[in-house]
A and B are shown apart, each in its own frame.
Chain A
């Protein structure tokens, strides 16, 4: 077949473009008006709002660097280009994403009318030219208002806040992004237009195609996370989902922090490190949009005109839509159905049932009737079966995914979300130099971390043992967990990422584990690698330390010191040496007693650092030779030495142990600052204990009910372990006999095995205003004291 194109094709294209644009100028004005109201107008209202002069003067006087860093400090702008104000993001997002689809439906609607296609397909214009001219008009209608709005916003930004190169660049980069997304949406809708016969089908099919990928992926991630043990959708998966469709592509950019302005600038969900990926995604969608549009032109050239006004439930697109409808509706129903019970049978049953119903509805809608419904049943059944089978993959372990644990020999390094006993209440961050946050002395914290990278064979073996144990015990709260008596389920939120020697990675995430599994990580507590990454003594510098605080192990006496940088560094070095000298057994079952708590506050290094913390602590024991020597040399130990003779009471309780200690660590240790008490608390406790004693004496039945030790451990709705009956030792017990106090003080330990029962004790000293709890393992107490702790108001029935 000879195909001839007119020699004056460009001229004809121009004329056709002008004519179509002229005929559709109404849409241009309408869209422009909508964009103007939702975008530049709202921006202008925010940019020209009244700023409280007193507040402005205050900031100018006390923190001029704040305004230098962020000229938009008083205004709430969103987006990388700081070009959206308040709800304008939502409105603009809806308008900008709907407009290309609506325009494609309108401009291509002629091919869905027999009458119109008689004219358009008979005139001497090639179908490719026709489609391209329409697309050019569509993009003009979308692009002109956006360009005009951005020019206005840029002018306002420059006039009001000065020229900010980053902001202006982002403004236009995002504009390009909107155009690319608009074009991709237009291209997809156009492709569907040329494949089907009605505007309604185009709307339904293109809408489904545009949303199917992110929605199905999100549902897939949810199902996998729900049923596949060890798998978790990370930030990468979330960004991947948003990049699957031009409809969701720009949403990710709103969530990226630009890093150039202050805290009031864009939403800081993702860091700026996501920006190159987001930009690349835009380029990929530009290429995809072009390819889809070229495919549309190619299909259109061979499209049968008589398809106009016809409907069909058959075809590749229709099959895709039915599959997507079946999967989305079925899986959503399955997820809702199993949200309470987490039952796999519930999930599968409802997925199949609602999936089948959705397929039937899609068949009827696409075919405008029931004629083909019976004939399509086999395909429908196959589709539903396919969805159910895919859902079964995560339920059945995803071909060995759940049980895969690399042996240490094939692992180069492992990153694990386990920070040990000293990082419980501190924030370890990466520090970048920048304008000071605090009087010109501190750096800027970016990228907080709670994961450590380990590579020694001992560490790898410990992680492997933990990993295998977790898999064997399969801690899924909603599936039921079998815990050993006395064991507890602890929330971890721990991610394990193995870097294998072959360069590949293997990542697993476990939300929690029993204390018996966590105990297997005890060797990490003395790992030089872990300590170097989690204990501030290894990365903070003496020159940045502002203040030291040293207290006795009971928290009764505290002294504050501000030593010179050299002394601070020496103390940090001493702590480091003592930490490295400890063994796991020293920590799990220490034979020495706690001597003092050392804590400090520090500035972040102004020149930046890969790792730093603004605070740190160290529990000095009798074995901490270097630290003790430093403190002794400074005379501090004498200042805080506790006089046990002055102790007039001890309150013991097992109920708050998990809160007061590093309970998600293999080693239990009191967290400094937690559970501080005052002298007055003694009076309250004494009063409560006596009231309880009277109550139980009068109500022996209640005593029997409250103090019958439970054996079965079950999880509450948040996955926390609870006992069915109240556990012995849950009530606070008061000891005032000096002999008892001496025994209790002698039993105090710096740390203990997380799998063994412990209680916390508050020691009240005469002359002290308060104190902090200490750890008492029950195994280190004599039987009579253990009995009194378990049954403070007498053994029921005796």
Chain B
């Protein structure tokens, strides 16, 4: 759906994106993570046609986006810093988008109005931050885009609404093969939503993987050795990280958690159990594996 080739974007002397290459497939939900200033928002603005690339190109469905009305008709961009027309209500904003987006669905708009607890006739300026975010997502989904670009989409949403939004996104992806690119500096927000993640650092995609593939490669195991143990006992595991707290050992190892647990039980552990890795932990270890100090990149 989106293909970026040697994409460059500069702001004066500062290079926000430097020769970025990536490809995001249709129907996927792609999480783009990175620290502040890493270029996440810039990439979304380039993909939505807000910015003009300084080098390389970004295409959506095989066509450049900038000033391409036919392509933009299929894209909706929800920015981090939301903007609504001055003094407008949700209803007026819906009218505005309805005139611009041919695929705007009244039915969907009305249905979403029942899901999001918002008064369509109330001025958007009086809405809270979270309510404004809901309104923006409501309008975006009503336009039924093929590509939805969400910048910090969950910022300000309460947990219940986050769940609702995730479900709505999943439904659209399932029913219409919508592609979603969502940025966040918080991996935990994305881990139960995205099927692909990419890490943006200093204007480049440092790392991108399919989430399932990523999580399958590592596992985390808790084990208890009341009588103690030698380091040699762990020699059979490909250990990425080991933390000992008294008799309790927490290991991050490459491979399957069941096999690792069995191995530790055979080495004398009274208790060994695999626990789910957070996406953040997966990232930390995956990046360390390729030679980066994760802590210096994300946090």
Contact = CB atoms under 8 A, between A and B. Distances in A.
Interface in A1-44: 1-6, 8-9, 12, 15-16, 18-19, 23
A1 B79 contact: no
Interface in B55-70: 57, 63-64, 66-70
A124 B100 contact: yes
A8 B50 CA distance: 21
A119 B82 CA distance: 9
A123 B72 contact: yes
A306 interface: yes
A6 B75 contact: no
26 contacts: A1-B66, A4-B63, A4-B68, A4-B71, A6-B70, A6-B73, A12-B99, A15-B100, A18-B99, A19-B95, A19-B96, A115-B82, A117-B50, A118-B79, A118-B81, A118-B83, A121-B49, A122-B79, A123-B72, A123-B100, A124-B73, A126-B69, A127-B67, A305-B45, A305-B50, A306-B51
B177 to A, nearest CB: 20
Interface in B69-90: 69-73, 75-77, 79, 81-83, 85-86, 88
A2 B63 contact: yes
B183 interface: no
B101 interface: yes
A302 to B, nearest CB: 7
B299 interface: no
Please provide the 9 A-B residue pairs with the shortest distance between their CB atoms, ordered closest to farther: A115-B83, A124-B72, A15-B99, A118-B79, A122-B77, A124-B73, A4-B70, A121-B50, A6-B69
Contacts of A12: 99-100
Most chain A beta-carbon neighbours within 10 Å: one of B45, B50, B95: B50
A302 B49 CA distance: 12
A122 B52 contact: no
A8 B73 CA distance: 12
B162 to A, nearest CB: 22
A301 B95 contact: no
A301 B95 CA distance: 26
Contact of B83 (A3, A8, A23, A116): A116
Nearest to A301: B67
B69 to A, nearest CB: 4
A628 to B, nearest CB: 91
Nearest to A26: B87
Interface in A528-558: none
Contacts of A23: 85-86, 88
A125 B66 CA distance: 11
B257 interface: no
B224 to A, nearest CB: 53
B191 to A, nearest CB: 27
A342 interface: no
B100 A122 contact: no
A9 B73 CA distance: 12
A114 interface: yes
A109 to B, nearest CB: 10
Question: Size class of A's contact patch?
Answer: 20 to 34
B81 A114 contact: yes
Given A118-B81, A125-B100, A3 B68 contact: yes
Contacts of A305: 45, 50-52
Contacts of B57: 1
A309 B70 CA distance: 29
Interface of B: 11, 45, 48-52, 57, 63-64, 66-73, 75-77, 79, 81-83, 85-86, 88, 95-97, 99-102
A347 B270 CA distance: 100
A113 B83 contact: yes
Nearest to B70: A4
Contacts of A119: 79, 83
B198 to A, nearest CB: 21
Given A12-B100, A19-B96, A305-B45, A115 B69 contact: no
Given A19-B99, A23-B85, A306-B11, A118 B50 contact: yes
B69 A304 contact: no
Contacts of B77: 118, 122
Contacts of A4: 63, 68-71
Given A124-B73, A125-B100, A2 B64 contact: yes
Interface of A: 1-6, 8-9, 12, 15-16, 18-19, 23, 113-119, 121-127, 301-302, 304-306
B172 to A, nearest CB: 19
A23 B75 CA distance: 25
Given A2-B64, A114-B81, A118-B77, A124 B69 contact: yes
Given A4-B69, A118-B77, A122-B48, 17 more contacts: A4-B71, A8-B102, A12-B100, A15-B99, A18-B99, A19-B99, A23-B88, A118-B83, A122-B50, A123-B72, A123-B97, A124-B75, A126-B67, A127-B67, A304-B51, A304-B52, A305-B45
A119 B77 CA distance: 8
Most chain B beta-carbon neighbours within 10 Å: one of A113, A122, A302: A122
A302 B99 contact: no
Nearest to A118: B79
B101 A124 contact: yes
Contacts of B64: 1-2
Contacts of B101: 123-124
B113 to A, nearest CB: 20
B179 to A, nearest CB: 16
Nearest to A114: B81
Nearest to B136: A119
Contacts of B72: 122-124
A308 B64 CA distance: 23
Nearest to A109: B86
Contacts of B70: 4-6, 124
B68 A2 contact: yes
A6 B70 CA distance: 6
B266 to A, nearest CB: 58
A128 to B, nearest CB: 9
Nearest to A110: B83
A215 to B, nearest CB: 34
B68 A122 contact: no
A122 B67 contact: no
A122 B69 CA distance: 10
Contacts of A1: 57, 64, 66
Contacts of B75: 122, 124
A117 B96 CA distance: 15
Nearest to B102: A8
Contacts of B102: 8
A5 B101 CA distance: 14
Contacts of A117: 50
Contacts of B52: 302, 304-305
A9 B79 CA distance: 26
A19 B86 CA distance: 13
B226 to A, nearest CB: 59
B49 A122 contact: yes
B5 to A, nearest CB: 13
A116 B50 CA distance: 11
Nearest to A119: B83
Contacts of A115: 79, 81-83
Nearest to A113: B83
Most chain B beta-carbon neighbours within 10 Å: one of A3, A4, A124: A124
A122 B75 CA distance: 8
A2 B68 CA distance: 7
A304 B63 CA distance: 20
Most chain A beta-carbon neighbours within 10 Å: one of B52, B75, B97: B52
A781 to B, nearest CB: 90
B270 to A, nearest CB: 58
A223 B299 CA distance: 66
A302 B54 CA distance: 11
A608 to B, nearest CB: 64
A113 B86 CA distance: 12
Contacts of B63: 2, 4
B91 to A, nearest CB: 13
Most chain B beta-carbon neighbours within 10 Å: one of A1, A23, A115: A1
